[in-house]
Structure 1
Amino acid sequence: MKNTTQKIINQFPQLKPLLDESNKEVLKTSSTLSELEKTFLQLARFFEKPNEEAFSLQLLYQHLEDEWLEFALQLIVEFFRNETYLIKNPNFSIIRDSQDYYTQSDFARYLEDKGIHFPQNKIAVYRKRGKFPKEDLLIAGTPYWSKYTVESFAKHLLGQQKQ
């Protein structure tokens, strides 16, 4: 299951059994799902099988607003940036929440909190050597990494420690 789909399931656990292709007709016949839930179900199906499932942005316009619309748009950006190869060198970012990005010291603290000793000076050396994830943003010479990049790198390091 893709990360973006999992985020939808975290918000709407009742949709998980409906992702199965054998339940495809449920979307058309179910009166128990709200338009909001149907929209996110269609979006999750698209994320899982983009070559087979279609998703219309019209659904977002018709059935979502405020935080649900923002959530859906954020998922779409995350899907195309992190779960496809369609955006090879992302250089566009909307900073909606400062908690979505980490400075070098924030990155080091996050790794330390996960039990990975990776101090800030080690990050600086590894960045220079090209052995550290490339920053997602560079603002006035200060590197920033997205929450997704930080979490992915931590998972990678934890996987190496278990070997």
Structure 2
Amino acid sequence: MAFKQIDEIDLNDIEESPVWMFLSEDDPLASDELTVKAISPESIDHSSSIYIAKTKFILANGEVFTGYCTPDCSGKLEDCQPVVFCKNTSIGFWYGIKPVENLKESYDIFGVQKEHVFPIAWECEFGYITKKSAPGFPTYGQTVFLGVQPIEGEISGFGFIESGEVRYVA
């Protein structure tokens, strides 16, 4: 299996291996907490690992791109942190606490005006569903993995945190 840093993943990597698992920084094979390993979709372990998976993105103008996200049943931008591959580069939509900068550069990479980009629909076939167990049962309220299912969502803009709240800008 291949090992890479998350920011080294490109379109060829995600096409060849649609699922990549983050390694623990304690793993002897990991350089740090940003090390990922290609895994088969059948070996996804939601109880102890975080992973990224191949995702299809459809711009407002209908153009389709491939990228990845961290599948999460919430579908929230801050949980999924989607990345799109376009013209040999990657465009992320979640900035976290960093200021959102260079939006013109991102639109230029897509080659369209911003009104043709958002909203972006996305679909990931390697999503997952979880369920909280009822109190008093053997798992005592822990999250229990129920299975893999496709998930989808929509990106309304570039996301970031400002004054403790999630905000979006297009």
The normalised TM-score by structure 1 is: 0.29
- TM-score, with structure 2 as normaliser: 0.28
Question: Computing the radius of gyration over CA atoms, which structure comes out larger, 1 or 2?
Answer: 1
Of structures 1 and 2, the one scoring higher in RCO (CA 8 A, sep 6+) is 2
**Structure with more helix by fraction:** 1
